[in-house]
């Protein structure tokens, strides 16, 4: 586990304990110092969580639980100071948790796989009710929503980031593949899973290319869906890259190619309840071509709007890239 994250969690617990102790003993100076320390630690913790692309929902759920327990303890012990202090935190956190879990969630773009449309440091608003409402942290579906459409930008949990996922779940047709192709996929999938898997998974953002029942073909850089060639209009070409305006089911977006693809030709038949996704930066994207399909149950939401750009902790955030995602 990340050492900086561990240090911040320990510091946060110490500050929280000091805040509880100072509040119970009506030590105003101690309470103010502990509150200030917690505020700074929370900001640093949020920065680290976004930087590591971890599940902020779990962090927020734990913080809300601690604040709620402190408020309940204050009610039981009839400590007005603890009720007042913890209550203000609890209700604010609860509102944020509800909005983030059931309405819109911010997601930071961690890599260049969706360039040029989505850049590293973009903060995207993810529509959490587009594909159905889910419980925070555990991502359990409680209310059905619409099915993803081809061309939409989806946030999800890919199989290689889930430690209990199997190669057969990522590629149900694995047993019918050639020995060479199955060995290549198994080697790649297991290597990725060993390096990246967690209990709750890691969120990815990619473009939906194939729906259940679709046949997806790639011939060079040409994309075919159910036998129909996807429209691609060349916008710019240099010695380093080519930019195309691609149209999938009336959704226009720009894709980048670098001329170094290792996935020049393949044919995939998307199984039931599975989706095939690709990054817009076609030659620099870890997507379905590498780790297989992701399951419907692991959908998180639909990316809809870039609301903030914060490239690094040493830069000031700005709103110059605000736009709707295509």
323: three-class secondary structure by DSSP: strand
**Average pLDDT of 47-69?**
76
- The CATH number for 133's domain is 2.10.109.10
Question: Is the same domain home to 58 and 194?
Answer: no
Task: Identify the burial level of 153 via C-beta atoms within 10 angstroms of its C-beta, where 0-12 means exposed, 13-18 middle and 19 or more buried.
Answer: buried
Q: pTM to 2 decimals?
A: 0.81
Summarize the confidence of residues 66-92 as an average pLDDT: 82
Euclidean distance between CA atoms 68 and 158, whole angstroms: 33
Q: Are residues 314 and 246 in the same domain?
A: yes
184 and 315 housed in the same domain: yes
Q: Tell me what pLDDT residue 143 has.
A: 77
> Can you give the residue range of the structural domain that contains 197?
105-324
Residue 88 has pLDDT above 70, yes or no: yes
pLDDT value, residue 160: 94
Per mean pLDDT, which of 166-175, 260-269, 305-314 is the most reliable?
Answer: 166-175
Q: 145 pLDDT exceeds 90? A: no
Task: Give the model's confidence band at 54: pLDDT under 50 very low, under 70 low, under 90 confident, else very high.
Answer: low
Q: What is the spatial distance between Cα 129 and Cα 196, in angstroms, rounded to a whole number?
A: 27
Shared-domain flag, residues 27 and 156: no
Q: Is the pLDDT of residue 137 over 70?
A: no
Q: Catalytic pick from 206, 274, 285, 288?
A: 206
> Which of 50-64, 259-273, 297-311 shows the lowest mean pLDDT across its residues?
50-64
Is pLDDT of 226 > 70? Answer: yes
Say how many domains are in the chain: 2
8 A C-beta contact, residue 193 and residue 160: yes
pLDDT averaged over the chain? 87
Average pLDDT estimate for 293-302: 92
Residue 269 and residue 125 in one domain: yes
Among 121, 203, 215, smallest CA distance to 161 is for 203
Give me the percent of the chain exceeding a pLDDT of 90.
44
Q: Is 113 a catalytic residue?
A: yes
Residue 218 clears pLDDT 60, i.e. is over it? yes
Residue 136 sits in the same domain as residue 54: no
Residues 203 and 298 in one domain: yes
Asked whether the predicted pLDDT for residue 249 surpasses 70, the reply is yes
Note the pLDDT of residue 76: 86
* Over residues 219-224, mean pLDDT: 88
Q: In terms of domains, do 87 and 117 share one?
A: no
Identified catalytic residue from 113, 242, 288, 295: 113
For residues 69-92, give the mean pLDDT.
81
pLDDT at 263: 64
Claim to verify: residue 99 and residue 123 sit in the same structural domain: no
Higher pLDDT pick, 316 / 138: 316
206 is catalytic: yes
Taking 80 as the threshold, does the pLDDT of residue 139 lie above it? no
Give the model's confidence band at 45: pLDDT under 50 very low, under 70 low, under 90 confident, else very high.
Answer: confident
Q: Which residue has the tokens 């736009």?
A: 323
Same domain, residue pair 128 and 151:
yes
Token readout for 113 is 């796989």
* Domain termination residue (choose one: 104, 135, 157): 104
Q: Distance from CA of residue 164 to its chain's centroid?
A: 18
DSSP assigned state of 147 = P
Rounded CA separation 281/260 (Å): 12
> Is 194 in the same domain as 60?
no
Q: Would you state the pLDDT for residue 264?
A: 65
Identify the domain boundary among 104, 128, 144. Answer: 104
Distance CA 289, CA 299 (A): 18
Domain ends where: 89, 104, 119? 104
Question: Where do we find the tokens 């110490």?
Answer: 14
pLDDT tens digit sequence for 157-216: 999 999 899 999 999 999 888 898 899 999 999 999 998 887 778 889 999 999 999 999
65 and 200 fall within a common domain: no
Residue 1: per-residue pLDDT = 56
Q: What percentage of the chain exceeds 70 in pLDDT?
A: 96
User: Does the pLDDT at position 262 exceed 70?
Assistant: no
């Amino acid at each position: 586990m990340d050492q900086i994250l561990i240090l911040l969690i320990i510091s946060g617990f110490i500050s929280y304990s000091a805040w509880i102790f100072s509040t119970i003993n009506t030590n105003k100076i101690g309470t103010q110092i502990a509150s200030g320390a917690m505020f700074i630690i929370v900001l640093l913790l949020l920065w680290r969580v976004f930087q590591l692309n971890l599940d902020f929902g779990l962090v927020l759920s734990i913080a809300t639980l601690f604040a709620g327990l402190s408020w309940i303890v204050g009610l039981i012990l009839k400590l007005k100071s603890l009720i007042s202090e913890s209550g203000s935190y609890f209700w604010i956190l609860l509102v944020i948790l509800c909005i983030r879990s059931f309405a819109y969630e911010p997601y930071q773009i961690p890599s260049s796989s969706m360039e040029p449309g989505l850049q590293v440091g973009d903060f995207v608003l993810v529509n959490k009710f587009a594909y159905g409402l889910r419980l925070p942290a555990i991502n359990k579906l409680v209310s059905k929503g619409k099915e993803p459409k081809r061309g939409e930008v989806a946030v999800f949990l890919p199989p290689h980031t889930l430690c209990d996922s199997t190669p057969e779940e990522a590629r149900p047709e694995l047993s019918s593949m050639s020995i060479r192709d199955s060995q290549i996929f198994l080697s790649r999938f297991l290597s990725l899973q060993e390096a990246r898997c967690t209990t709750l998974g890691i969120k990815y953002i990619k473009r939906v290319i194939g729906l259940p029942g679709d046949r997806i073909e790639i011939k060079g850089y040409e994309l075919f869906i159910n036998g129909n060639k996807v429209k691609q209009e060349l916008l710019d070409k240099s010695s380093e890259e080519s930019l195309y305006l691609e149209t999938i089911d009336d959704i226009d977006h720009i894709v980048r190619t670098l001329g170094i693809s290792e996935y020049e030709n393949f044919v995939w038949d998307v199984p039931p309840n599975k989706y095939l996704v690709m990054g817009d930066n076609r030659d620099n994207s870890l997507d379905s071509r590498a780790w297989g399909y992701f399951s419907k149950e692991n959908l998180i939401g639909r990316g809809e709007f870039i609301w903030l750009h914060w490239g690094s902790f040493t830069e000031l955030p700005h709103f110059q890239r605000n736009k709707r995602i295509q």
